[in-house]
A and B are shown apart, each in its own frame.
Chain A
Amino acid sequence: MERARSITKKIGNINFSLLSPNEIRKMSATKVITADTYDDDGFPIAMGLMDPRLGVIEPGLRCKTCGLRVGKDKCPGHFGHIDLAMPVIHVGLIKSIRDCLRSTCRECGKLLLTDKQREEYCDILKKYGTEHRDKTYVFKQIIKDSVKSDKCPHCGRETSKIELDKPTSLRESGKKLTPSEVREWLEKIQDENLPLLDINKRTARPEWMILTVLPVPPVTVRPSVTLQSGERSEDDLTHKLVDVIRINQRLQENRDAGAPQLIVEDLWELLQYHITTYLDNQTSGIPPARHRSGRPLKTLAQRLKGKEGRFRSNLSGKRVNFSARTVISPDPNLSINELGVPIQIAKELTIPVRVTVHNIDWCKEMIEKKATIPSDPNEYCPSANYVIREMEGMKQRIKVTERNAKDVAERLETGAIIERQLMDGDLALFNRQPSLHRMSMMAHRVRVVPHKTFRFNLSVCPPYNADFDGDEMNLHLIQGEEAKAEAEILMKVQENILSPRFGGAIIGGIHDHISGCFLLTQKDRNIPIDIAIHILSATGFKGKLPIPVIENGKSHINVKDIFSTLLPDDLSLEYKSKSCFNCETCEGVKCPHNAYVIIKNGVLKHGTIDENSIGAFKGRILDRIIRDHGMGAGREFIDNVTRMSIAAITLFGFTTSIDDEDIPDEAKKQIEEGLAKALKKIRSLVHAYENDELESLPGRSIEETLEMEIMKVTGKARDTAGEIAGRHLGLNNSAVMMAKSGARGSMLNLSQMSGCVGQQAVRGERIHRGYQYRTLPHFKKGDLGASAKGFVASCYKKGLTPTEYFFHSMGGREGLVDTAVRTSRSGYMQRRLINALEDLRVERDGTVKHSGGQIIQFMYGEDGVDPARSIGGKAIDINRIISDIKEGV
């Protein structure tokens, strides 16, 4: 059995067609006539919905049709059928039914086309067929032409207009057509005309689109569950089938008893409703069938459709083994390639190892270790969880327990597979949703650690977009050697430092890494040798110690020399650091802010190390090391520079608090004066507007001009307030240090905290909605002043007035709504884009081809450049080449 399953088969083609009533009866194991499921003793009722001939769900019981059980033999279940008292329209096919009626004659069943037209269309269809072209357009044309004729060209019957009342009712010139009438009509359509109606005459007949027999799916498709209370709970499909059978029965009885036409018709309609909702419970135009609790039933279409449907939830994506999920937390001492995996998880997850003559002793030892329990619960001692061996073609899976470990180890033979627990150094895929780009899933080297969270280096947060406020992430173990090799080469974190989005590093120092380097290198100074050695030890530095200088009789080491230990010898760079004040004429080496970085032959000569040196996106040193020395060196640099700066920042100490936003009273006064001036300017603008003295800007109305002028003034007011505040917040202020070095926050954030928050806006305009002619009842009607239209003169530190607070919330809400809308919309766009692109691939010759072989692009990206290996999108860095040549000369 195992062997038979291993033969792979390829699907040649799939043909979708209609089931004929005969076929439905033929494949039926039983006719279903009773709506009841189980009798009082709990046994399924014969010819009921749970008839044992439809298959069994309880393990151990035998199916009455095939005699197999559920578990091992696998009875697939068998269909039954319900004979409908009256025919019913199939909702899913209503459009085809309408088209058939529209293009044929009710009298003779022939197409409403002249013989000549018909002949032409047959030829076109044949031609399209040989050319493999899409025929939908032709079929539409046939229907269009047929509807045009007002008399049947064959028997002369006048044609009538067929209208479709959604979802299932058809009218012929306003008169309702019953399903029976529709069926009679469709029966008249000749076989030879079917190809012109897009129906395959070998496999289908149009009248089969009207149901006379309803197949009942096997019980295995709609298993009932026994609740803890002993009560049985039936599947939604069973519920719906019960309804169908009940109404069908009543319809039959009433019709046979010769009940009034009206009653029969009502029941018929009801049967149509139940079958429609049985097929699709979200059909527009009819209320969805509900469960007793009010929850809409999940019927056939709902099982397949949408995110939770069979396709997206079970076929395109499914739950997998060898995976784990837990909360994440940071560990600055791990390499960016590493991942801390909790012991608990490591014990559960396994990797298969084939037993060979070379490793059999090791494997035995591995199994035996199951019996030894480490004394310290934080100590991890990997062993094997399962042994899989093949006995007479049958796979046998033995669980290794403390008890049988010795025994299993002794009997271990080559050829078997042991499933060993996770060990340090194993490669695993790590992922955080939403997986928006390829860096959302990267391979890490496992390091088994105590406690219960996954841990990784903080530099790897940006590609995953992770933070540690409770985020959870997933781990997938690699089970095969090929997969392992592929992950090693393509997916390891170090291979993903360069982003294909812009051809630059996406992984680099962040937050404290940058603050730390800034703290270390900002002032050109010498630090005591013991501190220097401590910092160097954090990087595991093994080279020669930088030459110490004697200060006050003690050995000191220059901070630049400490940093230089991380740089490769051939590195030479010159650039402005992030903390550059953008002086009008840059003085280079003589920069008063030590903001001009010079590195010569791997030695930092001058300058402050900050975001522009080691950060992702802009880190010049990082970028250069990766380009010149490869991903491995890049990884090493990130590992070491982050360790060094964390050591430095913990040694020097770094903190920020609310008093970092304190400014002297004199500065406060200056800010107030500036704001008062701005408010005065606005008042005068409003005054000018009211007196019609304002001159409008070209292409703008007077009102627009006023708004623009005021926005200009408020914007400037905030900037000047920020400038004044900034002047009084020096570089020894931690918040300023973070903003200037690019570690976190910006000067704008600071100026809002200690200067002025500024104008609040909704849709890019000053706030103007709310009450009639005013924004809040606190203001006069028609007030155009600053405070009435959302200008927040206070700063966050001082606190906002109630009206300011309200306007600020309005602006804040707009931001929240925007992000919410953006994420949902871009998510859907991305889904569609991925579905469109998923089976394209770049061939060896550089062309982009669809899996069907069609060429999409003659050269990938038109230039054939892999953006991840490009230099900011370009294939080569001309400036670099020129400067290198100059250097050489």
Chain B
Amino acid sequence: MVKTSEKQSFDIMSHDLVPLHIIISDKEKKELFEKYNIAPENLPKIFDSDPVIKSIGAKPGQITKIVRKSHTAKEAVAYRLVIESNE
């Protein structure tokens, strides 16, 4: 999964402060939209130029599931829509 072609000597995903990012499947996508009754545009966005997105190789239009550590809930799940960056 990790792209090493660029000058990336360190796997950022292994860093303690980088939460777990997973690209979700089309089935999961459908379930997500149904669960929250939303369209993809209503999700929070993330640029495809983001180091994490580059690292997991997500493409614009895909959705990543993010599992973060949380002070209040131990673990918090969020979803972000990958979009094309300006650069």
| Chain A residues within CB distance 8 Å of chain B | 132, 137-138, 845, 847, 849, 853-859, 861-865, 873
Contacts and interface: CB of A to CB of B under 8 A. Distances in A.
A858 B79 contact: yes
B42 A853 contact: yes
B70 A854 contact: no
A847 B36 contact: yes
Contact of A855 (B38, B70, B72, B76): B38
A138 B70 CA distance: 37
Interface string B29-45: 00000001111011110
A859 B73 contact: yes
B72 A865 contact: yes
Interface in B56-87: 70-73, 76-79, 86
Given A137-B86, A863-B70, A858 B76 contact: yes
A855 B43 contact: yes
A108 B68 CA distance: 57
Given A137-B86, A847-B36, A854 B42 contact: yes
Nearest to A127: B84
A845 B41 CA distance: 19
A862 B70 contact: yes
A859 B36 contact: no
Contacts of A854: 41-44
Interface in B16-55: 36-39, 41-44
Contacts of A132: 41
Residue among A138, A845, A849, A855 with the highest chain B CB neighbour number at 10 A? A855
Contacts of A137: 86
The 3 closest A-B pairs by CB, nearest first: A863-B73, A862-B76, A863-B72
Contacts of B44: 854-856
A138 B79 CA distance: 28
Nearest to B80: A855
9 contacts: A138-B86, A854-B43, A854-B44, A855-B36, A855-B42, A856-B44, A858-B77, A858-B78, A863-B70
B38 to A, nearest CB: 7
Given A858-B77, A858-B79, A853 B72 contact: no
B74 to A, nearest CB: 8
Nearest to B35: A845
Interface residues of B, number: 17
Contacts of B70: 862-863
Contacts of A861: 72-73
A300 B64 CA distance: 49
Contacts of A862: 70-73, 76
Contacts of A849: 42
A853 B73 CA distance: 24
Contacts of B86: 137-138
A853 B79 contact: no
Contacts of A138: 86
Contacts of B71: 862
A132 B70 CA distance: 33
Contacts of B43: 854-855
A861 to B, nearest CB: 5
B46 to A, nearest CB: 13
Contacts of A859: 73, 76
A208 B77 CA distance: 52
A865 to B, nearest CB: 7
A132 B79 CA distance: 20
A857 to B, nearest CB: 8
Nearest to B43: A855
A515 B1 CA distance: 68
A853 B36 CA distance: 11
A172 B45 CA distance: 43
A476 B25 CA distance: 54
Nearest to B74: A863
B82 to A, nearest CB: 13
Nearest to B75: A862
Contact of B36 (A845, A856, A865, A873): A845
A864 B42 CA distance: 20
A428 B76 CA distance: 41
B18 to A, nearest CB: 18
Residue among A849, A854, A856 with the highest chain B CB neighbour number at 10 A? A854
A857 B70 CA distance: 13
A273 B32 CA distance: 59
Given A855-B38, A855-B43, A858-B78, 12 more contacts: A849-B42, A853-B38, A853-B39, A853-B42, A854-B41, A854-B43, A858-B76, A859-B73, A862-B71, A862-B72, A863-B72, A863-B73
A871 to B, nearest CB: 13
Contacts of A847: 36
A855 B73 CA distance: 18
Contacts of B73: 859, 861-864
Nearest to A856: B44
Residue among A132, A138, A856, A858 with the highest chain B CB neighbour number at 10 A? A858
Contacts of A845: 36-37
Nearest to A138: B86
B67 to A, nearest CB: 11
A865 B76 CA distance: 13
B8 to A, nearest CB: 26
A842 to B, nearest CB: 13
Nearest to B39: A853
B70 to A, nearest CB: 4
B65 to A, nearest CB: 10
